[in-house]
Amino acid sequence: MSDGTATATARAGTEDTVPARLACVFLPAPLPREARVAFWDPDGEPLLDAADELTVVRPHGSGVRRRQVPALTLPLAEALPLLVRARHDPAAHPATACWGAAAL
């Protein structure tokens, strides 16, 4: 389970290999085939090839705070194999493993 929600601002580029330790979030689109999956690091580590920016809402004390984080976004067709592999990876972020299980 992820501890944040997200929206994305797209910039050019995609990534072929995404570590399973990254959290992911589904980004719906008006046309389902245009939906994307955004991968981001909840630990705040920089992503070398991040081409997008994500606004995440995280717990902060007794409330929440928004923050911008670098993200890699992939179309569903490219994200699906990564998600399916992550569901059995012990190093996978819980959100990524969950989306991998849901993808099947």
Cα(29)–Cα(31) distance, rounded to whole angstroms?
5
Q: What residues does each domain of the chain span?
A: 5-103
Count of residues for the chain? 104
Q: pLDDT tens-digit profile of 40-55?
A: 999 888 887 778 899 9
Whether residue 36 contacts residue 25, with contact meaning beta carbons closer than 8 Å, is answered with: no
pLDDT for 75: 94
Residue 76 is given by DSSP the state: H
Model pTM?
Answer: 0.78
Residue 56 CA to residue 95 CA, distance in Å, equals 14
Cα of first residue to Cα of last residue in the chain, in angstroms, is 17
Low-confidence spans in the chain with pLDDT less than 70: 1-17
